[in-house]
Amino acid sequence: MRKPIWENALLAAMLILFSAGLIIKGYVGEEEQRSIALQVLLAGIPVGVLLMFFRSLDQRLPVLVKKGLSFFRQPWLRRSDPALLFVLCGIVLFDLLYIGVFRKLVDDENEFINAIRIFVEQGRHYFLVHYSEITWLGPQHPPLPVFLIGYIVKILGTDVYFPARITAVLLGLGIAVFTYHIARQLYDRTIARWAVILLFAIRYFNLAQVTSNNDIFVTFFFTLTVLLVLKLKATEQLPVFSRMGWAVAAGISLGLGLLSKYTMFLAYAMLLPLIFRPFAENTATDHFFSRFWSGLRSNWGVLLVLVITSLAVFYIWVGYMIRSGLITLHAGQLMYYLGADVDPYGDWKPKVIENGYFSSWRLNFLLKAIFYGIPSGIGTYILPLLGLGIWAFIRQQKERKKVNSNGFIRYWLAIVFIPMLIALPVHRYFMPAFPALAILMAAGLHHFYKQPYRILILALFLSYVTLVVYMS
């Protein structure tokens, strides 16, 4: 797989799937969508073909980048990764240019910004009293993202648009840094760098980190919680009291995620590897219950502190919902998404209508998500890289290599994808798993290629050209 012909085959597969996705999008869409799809094709394919013939780029690019990293080797940056800073600075420059040029609102961004305006113009008391009446936000989401951006807008005294989107950019950078440290702890620095690039190559993540929404908030706190859990796991040999700081930090992060979006509840499952240790290298001789008891004995104290801290933070909002009666509305909405036959606006009496999980609309919704929504959300052009990552994981499993690291990534993906496919399979709701997808792809590339720079460039380019043309 390290021969140029196989690398060109992978580049060709990325271009073919990229083109196929756009053709389908244009075929089923309106005339304007067909025009946009054609523009993206005309922009993306020439670059991809050029990269296929420019084989020497894999050897020349590291030399060019190394010369350009001289600024990032300053003494005050000695503890950082120059390559990571180089990539993130380039992304920030593009993001700021994008925010200044494109002001089109996407998905739920219009409702999100309207909620912030209500908070800024009417004040916190009015906002909370009339919370259930606020479109989109009131019936189903907690208020932390609106509060944070609202207070920033009040301090700056500006319009909502720029503070909201710049906050998203900063959160996106934070997610990238957390992804880097997770991948570096599980694998090595090279995979960590590639994972950051591939994270921004995921189409919807690239869109979410330049638009204002609560999905970027929950992904930020979810990824931070995963990183802190790994820190706790790495310090198991230390005394319990010396680990309490990490436990409190992880609990606060988890609680703030719950105050951002309820899908953060999935993060509690990411605590289980602290106890169960299901990814031991020598599972044949190390009995499951002995590993469970060992993990519980080492981590029960920090786990208890973590959970109590997170619930204490979340109770700030739960207490208000109980007092105001919002708890019935939000619980009904969650039960409705889980397939219960209830009115999402609080009527808990069974309904004689098709809104159960196995009803036709839920099945159609699921099939559409699997065959259209999720591939479109992550980008059809990176599906070959996902396949490469899965193939690498299978080979390493047979060879008993990197069992712990690969198992943790598989577990992370399963914890997000399985519940969301059952409850509400919308592509943006899978965002907490996007860092794991990026690490999976980076690990797959590292297994088969030494210098896959043309592949990384094409994936990132197709992501950004899609973003720019669709938003122009």
State percent of the chain over pLDDT 90: 50
Distances (CA, A) of 393 to 44, 93, 197, 341: 30, 35, 20, 40
Distance CA 303, CA 222 (A): 16
Domain spans in the chain, listed from the N-terminal domain onward? 4-471
Q: What is the pLDDT of residue 352?
A: 36
For the stretch 433-453, pLDDT in tens is 999 999 999 999 999 988 888
pTM above 0.85, yes or no: yes
Amino acid at 43: A
CB–CB of 457/10 below 8 Å? no
Q: What is the pLDDT of residues 69-80, one digit of tens each?
A: 666 566 655 566
Task: Identify the pLDDT of residue 125.
Answer: 94
User: How far apart are alpha carbons 39 and 26 in whole angstroms?
Assistant: 11
How far apart (Å, rounded) are the C-alpha atoms in residues 56 and 62?
Answer: 11
pLDDT at 423 over 90: no
- Residue 206 near residue 200 (C-beta atoms within 8 A): yes
Number of C-beta neighbours around residue 278 at 10 A: 16
148 falls in which pLDDT band (50, 70, 90)?
very high
| DSSP conformation class of 137 | T
Q: Residue 158 pLDDT > 60, yes or no?
A: yes
Rounded CA gap, 189 and 183, in Å?
Answer: 8
Mean of pLDDT values over 223-246: 90
In this predicted model, what pLDDT tens digit does every residue of 70-123 receive, in sequence order? 665 666 555 667 778 888 999 999 999 989 888 888 878 999 999 999 999 999
Is pLDDT of 351 > 50?
A: no
Q: Which residue has the higher pLDDT, 204 or 348?
A: 204
> pLDDT of 265-295, one tens digit each?
999 999 988 876 554 444 444 555 666 666 7
46 vs 291, more confident:
46
Do residues 206 and 464 make contact, with C-beta atoms less than 8 angstroms apart?
Answer: yes
CA–CA separation, 403 and 327 (whole Å)? 42
Does residue 38 have a pLDDT over 80? no
- Range of lowest pLDDT (22-36, 85-99, 418-432): 22-36
**More reliable by pLDDT, 370 or 256:** 256
- Rounded-to-5 percentages of helix, strand, coil across the chain: 80, 0, 20
Strand, helix or coil for residue 380: helix
Query: Which helix or strand (DSSP H or E) is residue 218 part of?
Result: helix 215-234
pLDDT above 60 (res 19): yes
Q: What was the pLDDT predicted at 285?
A: 46
CA dist list (Å): 422 to 268, 342, 370, 413: 18, 17, 11, 14
Helix 383-398 vs helix 434-448: crossing angle, to nearest 10: 70
Chain centroid to Cα 185, Å, comes to: 18
**What does the block give as tokens for 145?**
């993202």
* Residue entry with tokens 């094709």: 41
- Find the range with the poorest average confidence among 161-175, 179-193, 227-241: 227-241
> How far apart are the C-alpha atoms of 399 and 397, rounded to whole Å?
5
| Mean pLDDT value of segment 111-139 | 94
Rounded CA separation 296/277 (Å)? 10
Burial category of 59 from C-beta neighbours within 10 Å (exposed 0-12, middle 13-18, buried 19 and up): exposed
| Four-point Cα dihedral 169, 172, 176, 182, nearest 10 | 150
Residues contacting 101, CB < 8 A, separation 6+: none
Q: Which two tokens stand for residue 140?
A: 């189903």
Q: What distance in Å separates the CA atoms of residue 343 and residue 353, rounded to the nearest whole number?
A: 10
Q: What is the pLDDT of residue 226?
A: 97
pLDDT, position 353: 40
Task: State whether residue 192 is helix, strand or coil.
Answer: helix
Q: Is the pLDDT of residue 462 over 80?
A: yes
Most confident region among 61-65, 218-222, 422-426 by mean pLDDT: 218-222
